[in-house]
Amino acid sequence: MAEAKTLLRALAGETLPTPPIWIMRQAGRYLPEYRETRAQAGDFLSLCYNSDLATEVTLQPIRRYGFDAAILFADILLVPQALGADLWFVTGEGPRLSTITRQAEFDALKPAAEIHETLSPIYQTVRNLSGELPGDVALIGFAGAPWTVATYMIAGQGTPDQGPAHALKDENRPLFEALLERLTEATIEYLSAQIDAGAECVKLFDSWAGSLQGADFEAYATAPARRIIAELKSRHDNVPVIAFPRQAGAAYTGFHAATGADCVALDESVTPEWAAANVQVNGCVQGNLANTHMVTGGEALVTETRRIVEAFSGGPHVFNLGHGITPDADPDNVQRMIDAVRGG
């Protein structure tokens, strides 16, 4: 059945008459059924670590929309928690972590090989999904890329410009690089375990890659992705990997070859026409409808969706948003987008 899954066919380089479609954060707060399950769980982290409920919210958008892929419901900050960082969520504000800005704080982290006990419920969710998804729906595992996860660990929260991480990089390069090394090792372990549990492909989210420039982009976005992908493919018979160096701009060009990624996901800051000429020529691309269309809807949503499908029609393409769907999105607009992609 795997051969028939359109997502895996696109990731393998096949140009399909209709691109497979899924959306980032497709299991989330814009869906009333998700909000009900979240309330049942009690809080966000409890939902992530409850395998039965995490399975349920992952399946909800598949039931509602018939997406071609499901992505594991979890969070990129579970890895730092498994390494020993304190993690909690503040309602209306987002995640908070204990910080890593001094050597003693780094020294208190666990080795990468010791993350699995904490993360075992996540692997159980993957096993559940592997058995419960429809036969034509692919299962995507994921993790945050080391740079992006490090920005949260260094600042203790999300920041507008990743300033604290850049400051540590400039002021204490050995500590900064030691943290990225630990995160790279942990990410390999985490994604490898997801694949063992049944994930058919994985995605590496580098949401803040765009704040790295020049040599720093190569050293802290490209190089870790290359190492993670190479190790995963070595362990797992060339499992497909989607890489998302968000807001990379011109650095999207050549990212397939530089990292070994099977697919490069694009944000909406680049046009599909530019990306077709400069990125898709090297392999499958994913994207890149602006997520604001899921809020505003209307004819602009349909027109832009069709434009993206047409621009990428000459090569392998996975239709998606340029970033995650937001809580204020209208679920009906998601269906309109799907209909436009599939010719409705």
Catalytic residue, candidates 30, 34, 152, 190: 152
**Residue 128 in tokens:** 């559940």
Sign for the CA dihedral angle at 120, 77, 194, 146 comes to: negative
Q: Are strands 138-144 and 284-289 parallel, antiparallel or unpaired?
A: unpaired
- Exposure class string for 220-259: b at 16+ Cβ within 10 A, else e: bbbbbbbbbbebbeeebeebbbbbbbbbbeebbbebbebb
29 belongs to the catalytic site: yes
Alpha carbon distance 138, 308 (integer Å): 22
34 part of the active site: no
For 107, the 3-state DSSP assignment is helix
Task: Note if 152 is an active site residue.
Answer: yes
Within 10 angstroms of residue 187's Cβ, the number of other Cβ atoms is 27
Give me the catalytic one of 25, 182, 226, 227.
25
List the catalytic residue out of 29, 96, 127, 307: 29
Letter string b/e over residues 80-109, b meaning 16 or more CB atoms within 10 A of that residue's CB: bbbbbbebeeeeeeebbbebbbeeebbeeb
182 an active-site residue? no
Distance CA 237, CA 231 (A): 10
Q: Is 75 a catalytic residue?
A: yes
Cα separation, 212 vs 217, in Å, equals 5
| Assigned token pair, 104 | 């003693």
Q: What is the dihedral of CA 317, 30, 86, 187, to 10 degrees?
A: -10
Question: Catalytic pick from 9, 38, 182, 336?
Answer: 38
8 A C-beta contact, residue 295 and residue 329: yes
For the chain, state the CA radius of gyration. 19
The catalytic residues are 25, 29, 38, 75, 152
